[in-house]
Amino acid sequence: MEYKLENLVIPKSIAIILDGNGRWAQKRNLPRAMGHKAGCEALEKTVEDCVRLGVECLTVYAFSTENWKRSSVEVGALMKLLRFYMVKLIDVANKNNVKAVMIGDESRFEPDIRKGIKKLVDATSKNTGMTFAFAINYGGRDEIRRAINNIVDDTVSGAISKDDINEELISSYLDTKNLPDPDLLIRTSGELRVSNFLLWQIAYSEFYITDTLWPDFDKEELLKAVESYSQRQRRFGGR
């Protein structure tokens, strides 16, 4: 399919719930871990495709606070991939002037993974192009819980007063502080739910759901989503 880029409205901020790695593997009689590996490759390409499109911020949901409930074999395979791809992502990010940040609670990860996150963030912090926000051990409710904790601490210490608590202040206590709210939220593999992703931030995001499984998501699919977004009339409650 051909798209004329000049007819597209490019969202400033895209968020993706990458889903369907397991089903992709199942369809091929492969272990789920192979689906996750293929998913990591699709992610690398999507980062580059978003850079080329001129997206300013890409936020990707790769591991939720609920995903620890999966079998130890699957969680182990995901951690192994995380270790490997965080190193690979440094190259991908630096080649594309991408600044990587992490959202989620990293305290639950093993020390070497936490070091890997720091390395990725530090090694790309001076890049001035697209921001890539990697959501791992991320849960929207957990993020809000942690923010409330910090707001209460700062209120008790007197750093802020109760009257300071407005929407802007709450946003500034979330992991996504400094990141634009998603204009477009994409979910792959057909599920019609948000699964605890960016609950505060998606208040006025446009949704795009595709049946395509995440490992099959490519530039064509991304353009379809952006094409759909380009047709939307955003009203933000106004007329």
**Binding positions for Mg ion, rule: CB under 5 A:** 19
Of 35 and 182, the one with the shorter C-beta distance to Mg ion is 35
Of 31 and 129, the one with the shorter C-beta distance to ligand IPE is 31
Q: Of 7, 67, 105, 216, which residue is the catalytic one? A: 67
To ligand IPE, the closest distance from the beta carbon of 66 in angstroms equals 6
Residue type, 185: L
In the list Mg ion, ligand IPE, none, the entry touching 229 (Cβ below 5 to 8 angstroms by class) is: none
Q: Are 83 and 112 in contact (CB under 8 A)?
A: yes
To Mg ion, the closest distance from the beta carbon of 225 in angstroms equals 18
| CA dist., res. 59 & res. 40, Å (int) | 14
Exposed, middle or buried by CB within 10 Å (0-12, 13-18, 19+), for 61?
buried
- Asked if 19 is an active-site residue, the reply is yes
In the list ligand IPE, Mg ion, none, the entry touching 211 (Cβ below 5 to 8 angstroms by class) is: none
Cβ atoms < 10 Å from Cβ of 33: 18
| CA dist., res. 126 & res. 98, Å (int) | 9
In the list Mg ion, ligand IPE, none, the entry touching 137 (Cβ below 5 to 8 angstroms by class) is: none
The torsion region of residue 18 among left (phi > 0), alpha (psi -120 to 50) and beta comes to: beta
Residue 45 half-sphere exposure, CB side, CA atoms within 13 Å?
A: 14
Return the SS3 of 196.
Answer: coil
In the list ligand IPE, Mg ion, none, the entry touching 104 (Cβ below 5 to 8 angstroms by class) is: none
Q: Of 7, 19, 97, 112, which residue is the catalytic one? A: 19
Residue with the CB atom nearest ligand IPE in the bound state: 22
To Mg ion, the closest distance from the beta carbon of 26 in angstroms equals 11
Query: Going by DSSP bridges, is the β-strand pair 131-138/13-17 parallel, antiparallel, or unpaired?
Result: unpaired
| CA dist., res. 18 & res. 50, Å (int) | 15
In the list Mg ion, ligand IPE, none, the entry touching 49 (Cβ below 5 to 8 angstroms by class) is: none
- Which residues are at the interface with ligand IPE (CB under 6 A)? 17-23, 61-64, 67, 78, 189, 191, 193, 195
To ligand IPE, the closest distance from the beta carbon of 133 in angstroms equals 13
| CA dist., res. 187 & res. 17, Å (int) | 5
Of 66 and 122, the one with the shorter C-beta distance to ligand IPE is 66
Return the SS3 of 18.
Answer: coil
- Asked if 183 is an active-site residue, the reply is no
Of 67 and 230, the one with the shorter C-beta distance to ligand IPE is 67
| CA dist., res. 87 & res. 34, Å (int) | 19
Of 104 and 151, the one with the shorter C-beta distance to ligand IPE is 104
To Mg ion, the closest distance from the beta carbon of 19 in angstroms equals 4
Residues annotated catalytic, as ranges? 19, 67
